[in-house]
Structure 1
Amino acid sequence: MAVTAIVSASAAGAEDMEVMHWWTSGGEAAAVAEFANALNENTEHTWVDGAIAGGGDVARPVMVSRIIGGDPPAAFQFNHGLQAQELIEAGLMLDLTDVAEAEGWADVVNPPSLLDACTYEGRIYCAPVNIHSWQWMWLSNQAFEDAGVEVPTSWTEFVEVAPALREAGKVPLAVGGQAWQQNGMFGVMAIALAGQEDWLAVNRDKNADVARGESYARVFQAFAEAREMAEGLDVQDWNQATNAVITGEAGAQIMGDWAQGEFAIADMVAGEDYSCLPGLGEVAVLDTGGDAFYFPVTGDADLEAAQKELAALLVAPETQVAFNSKKGSLPIRGDVDLESVNECTQKGLDLLAEGATLPSGNELLTPDTINQANDLMTEFWNTPSMTAEDAQERYAQIIEQAG
């Protein structure tokens, strides 16, 4: 594997590098092992795994606490977007511009918005590693066969056949009990049912009038119907909900493409054992969110050189192919070939090639606004007496304040 020129010029001694992340499911662990292998096999350094269970909402506060408390890891995972901006402004993040320029990231990162999300005042502070999109619905072919109905090709068709799933003893829609899952699902439904234009008006332009309007009323009504379709499955973690689809206990799940990693380790074949609908089969589009790694400032010159070496390796072509093939995500490089991919990944690659993409909510909304929406959606999800109209008005107020 080629080593970046900037790293070659300042090669570090062997370092034990603690890397913090929240990838703990079976598929995620298999994917992050590829990063560890790249570091351990191609450098003198050692990957010290700092996995935190519970997802980003649990992990991010721990990571921030470590950093501002003076005990930072060598690197840590955040999502693309605004999550690290305050840390950058405080001077706590390592500037990776020299690595990015030496490696030619600007020429290969696709779409360019991923590198833009790592850029602050013209300097680059993170290494993007994948394109993850929330815009997917995963369906158990066996569950629909057991129910005696065809696998639906859209959300509209899914709603029509959901009663047949229920009659066959299936839970129509698998949803975990965490707020980020419920809010993420709402975002997917908003793009699919309100349309891209209105979704951008709300999330990018902070237009509360659109959030109060007819298109979003349809979304909240559908979200209320989804709440009913999810009754009967009591799980917390997203991968537990995915497993309900894998086993045929549930008909479908709205979840990001990271769910593919779980299907892969279960030896499930796309198109045979499970099906996938980008944009719920209503609006075929990807939001180009994903993950990036940041590197805290430590004042240790040897560790800084090792951090830059790891940053280069994360974006290197071989690492990108190995990691994303296991993760279910798309590579951030436009110059790599994933060779043989399954039909769901190919759908994603086709949409990316067509430019059928949107920015992710993490790139458009502040963490505070996202947390407020998380709280609202989980309250609505767990409070059957709350009406769609009440939830919509409270959501519009959150958007109004964000503006």
Structure 2
Amino acid sequence: MTNRILTKLLCASALVAVPLAANAVDLEITHWWTSGGEAAAVRALAEQFEATSDNTWVDGAIAGSGGVARPIIISRILGGDPMAATQLNHGQQAVELIEAGLMLDLTDIAEAGDWANIVNPPSLLEACTVEGRVYCVPLNIHSPQWMWTSLSAFDAAGVAPAQNWDDLKAAAPALREAGKQPLVSGAQGWQYANQFNTFVSGLGGEDLYYAVYRDGDEAALMGTEMKAIWDEIVITRDLMAGTAIQDWNLATAEVINGNAAAQVMGDWAQGEFAVAGKTAGSDYDCIIGMGRAQLIATAGDAFYFPVNKDEEVTAAQKELAQVLISPEAQVTFNLKKGSLPVRGDIDMSTAGTCMQKGLAVLADGGTIDSSDMLLSPDAVGQIQDMLVDFYASDMSAEDAQAEFAKIVMSDK
């Protein structure tokens, strides 16, 4: 080990002792963070890694959403051309790869770093654990339960800014009259699903949410509460009429520029507002749970490390794993990304207004598991496809409710 490496490691407070690569290696890291805010957050991670290691972060960004990137990532791993590390979401996406012995076991550094006591909530580490062994590093907490609003759009329409879903519905005619889109979304299944999940948890509350996604309870899926939510989803289709946007960040840009009044999107949208130089409270607002149930899903991103026969690469992979969960990386990355840190022992007092809202909900225990943790990847994909069909048609609330219930119940 060189003195330079040793000195750097001693300066990184969260790193624990593991065998290090004798020679510097290049690590290809794949992810799908390509928007302005996301790219800034990735750079923060790369800089943190290279400041504490002689190894090099080789960026392998894959354009498009996770739905585009994940099949490419998995295909490479299965095809014998693995990257050194890759982003995936918490949930069931990597279980088969782990069971096939294709993912690096990180239990030694997880135990040495006391991850069991620093990761909050514990479900994030549990999502990385298979048969008692840890196979990924939880990086952040992302939740879809947010509505982002443009204060200038409401001002142009001469109405008070919406504080909840009912306010937005009431303001829609005035917004249309002022030439503002009441509600905007990219026309992709995962975006529609995020919005739908927000309505289920925000309007339905925790009990209904778990009855639907965890239990697949037919009475809940086909009951009056879910029928009422589907009625509201029909209204979202009306308020979104007239848009032709695909990518989520372009939809966010419509809110940033004041062309649209609202977007239901995950907390990663904060990064786009930050890059645009916008300030919460004066330029935009952020509302959890459509202004009703204060619940956030504690899902997010994790990094997995495909098995590599080169011992120097393996050592470098473990160095990177330690950096990702270090206090320094947790603060710098999440402040830029708009996500919440997975560590419960760091100072986030410099976080902005919206992140403080999320931290307060997290501290109050207002957390739910994400739908990705409660449903199989196949069911998640079927729901997304169904919602694409719904928004491209005049499908009734009754028909949509029945189709959704069929998908969920068949997954249980």
Judge same fold: TM > 0.5, yes or no. Answer: yes
CA distance in 2, matches of 1:114, 1:318: 19
Q: Is the 8 A contact 1:351 1:357 kept in 2?
A: yes
CA distance in 1, matches of 2:200, 2:78: 36
- Match of residue 52 from structure 1: 62
**What do the CA deviations read for 1:57-94 (whole angstroms, capped 9, x no partner)?**
00000000100000000000001111101111111000
Map 1:1-400; keep pairs closer than 5 Å: 1-2=12-13, 4-7=15-18, 9-384=19-394, 386-400=395-409
Amino acid at match of 2:170: E
CA distance in 2, matches of 1:207, 1:378: 24
CA distance in 1, matches of 2:213, 2:135: 24
Q: Is the 8 A contact 2:140 2:340 kept in 1?
A: yes
CA distance in 1, matches of 2:244, 2:131: 45
Q: What is the TM-score of this pair, normalised by structure 1? A: 0.98
Amino acid at match of 2:402: E
**Count of residue correspondences:** 401
**What do the CA deviations read for 1:5-51 (whole angstroms, capped 9, x no partner)?**
342x4444211000000000000000011111011121011000000
Cα distance change, pair 165–48 in 1 and its aligned pair in 2 (3 A): same
Amino acid at match of 2:405: A
Q: Is the 8 A contact 2:14 2:325 kept in 1?
A: no
Q: Is the 8 A contact 1:126 1:293 kept in 2?
A: yes
Q: Is the 8 A contact 2:203 2:289 kept in 1?
A: no
CA distance in 1, matches of 2:53, 2:265: 36
> 1:225 offset after TM fit, Å?
0.6
Q: State the superposition RMSD in angstroms.
A: 1.0
SS, match of residue 274 in structure 2: helix
- Match of residue 5 from structure 2: none
**What do the CA deviations read for 1:265-324 (whole angstroms, capped 9, x no partner)?**
000000110001111101111111100000001111111110010000000000100000
CA distance in 2, matches of 1:126, 1:241: 31
CA distance in 2, matches of 1:378, 1:141: 29
Q: Is the 8 A contact 1:131 1:329 kept in 2?
A: yes
Q: Is the 8 A contact 1:12 1:303 kept in 2?
A: no
Q: Is the 8 A contact 1:21 1:52 kept in 2?
A: yes
> 1:234 offset after TM fit, Å?
1.1
SS, match of residue 144 in structure 1: helix
CA distance in 2, matches of 1:13, 1:322: 28
CA distance in 1, matches of 2:220, 2:408: 10
CA distance in 1, matches of 2:22, 2:299: 32
> 1:345 offset after TM fit, Å?
0.9
> 1:3 offset after TM fit, Å?
6.3
Q: Is the 8 A contact 1:183 1:378 kept in 2?
A: no
> 1:401 offset after TM fit, Å?
0.3
SS, match of residue 5 in structure 1: coil
CA distance in 2, matches of 1:133, 1:4: 28
CA distance in 2, matches of 1:15, 1:60: 25
- Give structure 1 stretches of 5+ with no counterpart: none
Amino acid at match of 2:397: A
Cα distance change, pair 2–195 in 1 and its aligned pair in 2 (3 A): closer
Q: Is the 8 A contact 2:92 2:372 kept in 1?
A: yes
Q: Is the 8 A contact 2:15 2:326 kept in 1?
A: no
> 1:158 offset after TM fit, Å?
1.2
Q: Is the 8 A contact 1:108 1:334 kept in 2?
A: yes
CA distance in 2, matches of 1:296, 1:219: 41
CA distance in 2, matches of 1:355, 1:147: 37
Amino acid at match of 1:231: A
Cα distance change, pair 12–372 in 1 and its aligned pair in 2 (3 A): farther
**What do the CA deviations read for 1:171-191 (whole angstroms, capped 9, x no partner)?**
100110111001111110111
